[in-house]
Structure 1
Amino acid sequence: MELLDVAQCWRLLSGNDVGRLAMAVGGEVDIFPVNYVVDDTSVVFRTAPGTKLIEVVIGGPIAFEADGYDAAAGQAWSVVCKGTAQRIEDRAGLDSAEALGLVSWNNAPKEEFVRITPTQVTGRRYHVYRKGAEA
């Protein structure tokens, strides 16, 4: 296993577009799949009114995880960002988020933007062992 530096983590996140957002509210943990885009050193995703947005507004620490797999190289990676998530509400922030070109994967309208601001970014890359294959 190889520990990745922060720059490597951001490069991998930038080349991917789906991850999982984990939040704990009221003693319950929720995990939501989201498609996202990297904006400098933050992660932006779209959402609709509902549980995910309510939990973001309530606040508290979050974790965001994305991973990938390169079958040809036999390697996988995982990046975890820990920090906070905030609903983007100011006009300049919304204009900036709109310019990122992020489109929801499903047809439901998702008019709200959320920015994840990490305080910690960690990652790992590792060889994928397949039973019966040579290591």
Structure 2
Amino acid sequence: MSPRGPLQLSATWTYAIVGGVASIPLTVGAYWLSGTGSEFSLNMVILGGLFAGYLASGSAADGTAAGVRAGVIGSAPGVVWILAEAVPAALAAGGPTTFRVAAVGLAVGLGVLPPIIGAVGGFVGGKIGGWLAGKTGRRPPSAVGN
């Protein structure tokens, strides 16, 4: 067991959770306000990654890693949306049982896409957030002299 205890998170994870959870209502709100019901955008995940990267870069944590993790956390509504849409459609598809099983497997496999896309968006947001932290003087001084 670690000396920090079982429930304490690293600073990187703390900022990732803050940024990821902050992006979830923004992502759902953007989907709801779009009114289409057929498109789901993870643009707000970049904003959550930016927030996490900015906060993490102002401490000893890694801003890019926090952004990637925030992107994966913030992509949770996308996973729910895909699974809620694709799995029932696959189950309702006609044809032999093997076809339906394969369709459900494909639908569940598609649930991996939002976290991958969210990780890329979080990476971009974390990099931008870290850059902003450096430009605004939030980044702590480097221990190694350049």
When the two structures are superposed, what TM-score results if normalisation uses the length of structure 1?
0.31
When the two structures are superposed, what TM-score results if normalisation uses the length of structure 2?
0.29
Higher helix share: 2
Higher strand share: 1
